[in-house]
Structure 1
């Protein structure tokens, strides 16, 4: 009898599309065996606003991926985004537990737990606590201190928090769609697994995942994430501008954007005509690609300029030796990288997911950056025990627990 192969599932909950990717672990190698994608209903700017519609969209995407793979799946890693996401870098310090002063794995766990003991509003929870670096007896820049001699262990930790209700709605939607959530993953963190190279993460790089409803920003340096932010602007604003500018329904505007929108055009390309379907019995009409570009470009410039301000506000602009990597659906726009270089004054490239075996050609597209990244994240974490505070409990229970912790601490 053949041994049952381990499978990893990633579900990218986007504003405009939901993507499900199934991969099999084959002798410590990954192979993508199923991909499903469906228009996203019930989500707005990365947050679930209609639970039933969101569940239906998830079911469609997962069913499509399952039929392609020929398997049924019951668990997943899911992405989380939205303007409710916040992050902070926290510092913690402990004395090593073992006599003789040798740092153990338990010491690492203790110092990270100490870093997580920050004051949070009752309606928020920690979704990530990612070590940036450790300090052992004032020796800085240590990545893995286990086994080192020292009596004092310090840690700099990047902490990402989310609204408990938003996180719980994702759990509820996925669980009602038949999927147990192994972990919620910040979407730009997931995307970094699929589009960034180790040398970029070491040198200093900014990852921009420009999706339908949000632009997710993450800055990496010296092998670790240093800053993250979610900006509530994305490709749907470009689509709205097209719909208004050429007087066509949103669905048609999205199709025109996907097939024809460009920022950089030659004179010859600018004269090419695009058919705009008539509505309400009206005849079809045509516009030029130059007119479409004149609608699209100002909004893209606005998104990039707001993002540029966010990068400079982070305090890490000067360390971005590897520049900026842009991924997500909006990264498909021809000429986006050149425009971004003019605005950021940094080298820019478009991030395409890494080839990891199996149905690679299907996912060689920026729109699948988060989905493929969730697979790679799950592959790295598959042997770790992941515990979520709100898993399996209601929002009221989570809020009650937070209040009890606060009351005990101060009274």
Structure 2
């Protein structure tokens, strides 16, 4: 079996385990718990791992407290993260202390403080703050390629060489733009379109409508990987749940493009894997 296939099997297995513990948390005592907080534009995800970094619980909530990767409703963000924390503490019958978080690449000077404050105000001790595509690669294990995180507001790109990040970028265009296009095409409100695109049964119908936006994302990818030896692309982020998005991107870039089992959960799992018991200053 190829190394690439083994890598993707690890990613998909971890995501599958996480999907299962969201429904049925593993209430088995652990000496400590490591949490990953993913403050997405469309969805906030909390992933919990045990002392051996195995998924034991998870929860998520769709919200609009973040816009284009920036916290726009601080109080609302704190409230949701605290609610998710309390919910999982009750299910695990344990206190969740340590958490890591992530930000879109290149935005650390702009919003890292806000995200750090949200996580701490929700009752966590923050142990790590890294960029989203780099966090995702904790699960993907890409050696020479690009991790493309298509979120609600932006597309983040990390290029890796020999397993090390050598370039990061973040540009507007994401799920919000998908919803705007669907809103115009179907005469829906933005919120209606946002929910409509999450219905997997509608993906075949809406893919042609959204193809120009996916091609725009592809052009962003092409721009940032130019001049780098990118052998593969892995897609993460909730927007990548759109069925067929990987085929359009692969055609536009000419590079093998992989989409995990559930791209929405890759980054929060990677964030949790980056969590330690060493509290940040």
* TM-score, scaled to structure 2: 0.83
The aligned runs of 1:6-405 (5 Å cut-off) are 6-25=32-51, 29-81=52-104, 85=107, 162-163=108-109, 166-196=111-141, 200-201=142-143, 204-259=144-199, 260-262=201-203, 265=204, 289=205, 292-312=206-226, 315-316=227-228, 319-321=229-231, 323-352=232-261, 365-378=262-275, 382=276, 385=278, 387=280, 391=281
Comparing both chains, which one has the higher relative contact order based on Cα–Cα distances under 8 Å and sequence gaps of 6 or more?
2
- Per-residue deviation, 1:261: 4.3
Which structure 1 residue ranges, 4+ long, deviate > 4 Å from structure 2?
none
Count how many residue pairs are aligned between Structure 1 and Structure 2: 253
Which residue of structure 2 lines up, in the alignment, with residue 284 of structure 1?
none
SS of structure 1 residue aligned to 2:41? coil
With over 3 angstroms needed to count, the CA separation of the structure-2 counterparts of 1:34 and 1:67, relative to structure 1, is farther
With over 3 angstroms needed to count, the CA separation of the structure-2 counterparts of 1:220 and 1:252, relative to structure 1, is same
State how far apart, in whole Å, the 1-side matches of 2:222 and 2:173 are: 13
- Per-residue deviation, 1:250: 2.1
With over 3 angstroms needed to count, the CA separation of the structure-2 counterparts of 1:329 and 1:4, relative to structure 1, is closer
State how far apart, in whole Å, the 1-side matches of 2:57 and 2:149 are: 23
Q: Which has the higher strand share?
A: 1
State how far apart, in whole Å, the 2-side matches of 1:224 and 1:171 are: 24
With over 3 angstroms needed to count, the CA separation of the structure-2 counterparts of 1:31 and 1:257, relative to structure 1, is same
Contact map agreement 2:138 2:270 (CA 8 A) in 1? yes
Alignment root-mean-square deviation, CA: 2.1
Larger Rg: 1
* TM-score, scaled to structure 1: 0.58
- Per-residue deviation, 1:251: 2.2
Contact map agreement 1:22 1:69 (CA 8 A) in 2? no
- Per-residue deviation, 1:348: 1.0
Instruction: Give 5+ residue unaligned stretches, structure 2.
Output: 1-27
Q: Deviations over 1:260-297 (max 9, x none)?
A: 443xx5xxxxxxxxxxxxxxxxxxxxxxx2xx333211
Instruction: Give 5+ residue unaligned stretches, structure 1.
Output: 86-161, 266-288, 353-364, 392-411
State how far apart, in whole Å, the 1-side matches of 2:171 and 2:91 are: 34
- Per-residue deviation, 1:345: 0.7
SS of structure 2 residue aligned to 1:178? coil
Q: Deviations over 1:164-191 (max 9, x none)?
A: x522211222222111211111111110
Contact map agreement 2:39 2:45 (CA 8 A) in 1? yes
- Per-residue deviation, 1:192: 0.5
- Per-residue deviation, 1:233: 1.6
Contact map agreement 2:30 2:50 (CA 8 A) in 1? no
Contact map agreement 2:103 2:129 (CA 8 A) in 1? yes
Contact map agreement 1:11 1:76 (CA 8 A) in 2? yes
Q: Deviations over 1:169-221 (max 9, x none)?
A: 1122222211121111111111011123xxx41xx111111111111111111
Contact map agreement 1:18 1:61 (CA 8 A) in 2? no
